[in-house]
Amino acid sequence: MPKTHTTVGIIGGGPAGLLLARLLHNSGIDCVLLESRDRAYVEQRQRAGILEQGTVDALRESGAAERLDREGLVHDGIELRWNRRAHRIDFPALTGGRRVWVYAQTEIVKDLIALQLTYGAPLLFEAAVHAVEGADTEEPLIRYTHEGRDKTLTCDYVVGCDGFHGVARTAIPDGVKRTYEHAYPYSWLGILADVPPSCDELIYAHSPRGFALHSMRSPTVSRLYLQVPNGTDPANWSDERIWDELEARFAVDGDWKLRRGPVTAKSVLPMRSSVTEPMRYGRVFLAGDAAHIVPPTGAKGLNLAAADVIVLARAFARLKDTGSAELLDAYSDTCLRRVWRAEHFSYFMTTALHTDPGQSPFATRLQLSRLDRIAASPHAAAELAENYAGLPTV
Show the binding pattern over residues 49-88: x = contacts ligand PHB (CB under 6 A), - = does not. Answer: xx--------------------------------------
Show the binding pattern over residues 168-207: x = contacts ligand PHB (CB under 6 A), - = does not. Answer: ----------------------------------x-----
Residue 271 vs 310, nearer CB to ligand PHB: 271
Burial (Cβ within 10 Å: 0-12, 13-18, ≥19) of residue 340: middle
Q: Which does 105 bind (CB under 5 to 8 A by kind): ligand APR, ligand PHB, none?
A: ligand APR
Examine residue 132 and tell whether it contacts ligand PHB (CB under 6 A): no
Hey, CA dihedral for 207, 212, 218, 219, is it positive or negative? Answer: negative
Q: Candidates 219-227, 284-292, 323-331, 369-377 — which segment interacts with ligand APR by CB under 6 A?
A: 284-292
Q: Which does 11 bind (CB under 5 to 8 A by kind): ligand PHB, ligand APR, none?
A: ligand APR
Residue from 6, 10, 15, 339 binding ligand APR (CB under 6 A)? 15
The Cα–Cα gap between 188 and 212 comes to 9
Pairing of strands 85-90, 77-82: antiparallel
3-state secondary structure of 297: helix
Residue from 163, 197, 210, 295 binding ligand APR (CB under 6 A)? 163
Q: Which does 215 bind (CB under 5 to 8 A by kind): ligand APR, ligand PHB, none?
A: ligand PHB
Burial (Cβ within 10 Å: 0-12, 13-18, ≥19) of residue 365: exposed
Residue from 73, 93, 114, 128 binding ligand APR (CB under 6 A)? 128
Contacts of 102 (CB under 8 A, 6+ apart): 49, 50, 51, 72, 73, 74, 75, 202, 215, 216, 217
Q: Candidates 6-14, 74-82, 273-281, 355-363 — which segment interacts with ligand APR by CB under 6 A?
A: 6-14
3-state secondary structure of 184: coil
Q: Which of residues 293-312 bind ligand PHB (CB under 6 A)?
A: 296-297, 299
In degrees rounded to 5, what are phi and psi of residue 267? Answer: -155, 160
Long-range contacts of 119-122 (CB under 8 A, 24+ apart): 119/25, 120/21, 120/22, 120/25, 121/6, 121/21, 121/24, 121/25, 121/30, 121/31, 121/32, 121/33, 122/2, 122/3, 122/32, 122/33
Task: Annotate 28-95 with DSSP letters as a single string.
Answer: T--EEEE-SS-HHHHHH-----EEEHHHHHHHHHTT--HHHHHHPEEE-EEEEEETTEEEEEEHHHHH
Q: Candidates 43-51, 271-279, 313-321, 367-375 — which segment interacts with ligand PHB by CB under 6 A?
A: 43-51
Active site residue ranges:
75, 204, 296, 300, 388
Least Cβ distance, residue 358 to ligand APR (angstroms)? 28
152 C-beta neighbours (distance < 10 Å), count: 12
Q: Candidates 35-43, 78-86, 171-179, 311-319 — which segment interacts with ligand APR by CB under 6 A?
A: 35-43
Residue from 36, 53, 215, 332 binding ligand PHB (CB under 6 A)? 215
Q: Which does 297 bind (CB under 5 to 8 A by kind): ligand APR, ligand PHB, none?
A: ligand PHB
Q: Which of residues 297-326 bind ligand APR (CB under 6 A)?
A: 301-302, 305
Q: Which does 34 bind (CB under 5 to 8 A by kind): ligand APR, ligand PHB, none?
A: ligand APR
Contacting positions for ligand PHB (CB under 6 A): 48-50, 202, 213, 215, 223, 296-297, 299
